[in-house]
Amino acid sequence: MSDVQLRLINESNDQNNVEFVIFSKNTATASAEEEAVIWRVIQNLGRGDYHPFVYPSAVTVNAVDSWGNHTPSMNAEPGQLFAMVKDNSGDVLAMLDQGAAAKQYQIENQLPAGEITANTYKDGKLFATKTGLLPSQTAVFEFEPVIYIGVVSQAIEGKVINSAIMSDIDTEISLQGVASADIVVTGGGRGPAAKPFEFTLKNIVMA
């Protein structure tokens, strides 16, 4: 898929200056314990304002070793296998081959000892992570063109979403085949007239 140009437009009745949170899910694992990461937080979006952003096709990866050393980010293509290995300089991340399944990105811990954290990024922001990978274990990532959006207070980009908060965010937006679109926020407000926030994809231009 190509990059998707998006705009979040606030047409809600919000009077509490809420924060809008966007994240995705790693579809390579079906575990209930899978941790989703807050990819974007959009703040201070006044009524009538819009916030442009891009859902990019490109993915980069890096890893963190047990010493707290971060590797440089590397461009990744679906199907590529990366490994954290030890060379003469220390722990480094290397691209091995097209060893992963066609739509997957894989990062393997090939160090003789020590856990690693495997990270993926979109638009330079942490997109998905897998912590506590022991030697010989592999993190497997696969992403559908789908985002989840909702309202969360005091959210921080790059932090893991706890399961209680994630269960409250049930708006799923498919970007399959979309070149650009607006995500329009309605609802909100105070008192008995308040309504749940709703997020609707409008003004869609197909790729």
Q: For 64-88, write each residue's pLDDT tens digit.
A: 999 999 999 999 999 999 999 999 9
Q: What are the structural domains, with CATH classification, of the chain? A: 4-56+144-206 (2.60.40), 59-141 (no CATH)
Here the tokens at position 110 are 């090939």
Give start and end residues of each alpha helix (H) in the chain.
Answer: 163-168
pTM: 0.93
Q: For 143-153, write each residue's pLDDT tens digit.
A: 999 999 999 88
DSSP codes, 84-143:
EEEETTEEEEEEEES-S-TT-EEEEE-SSS--EEEEEEETTEEEEEEEEEPTT-EEEE--
pLDDT on residue 201: 97
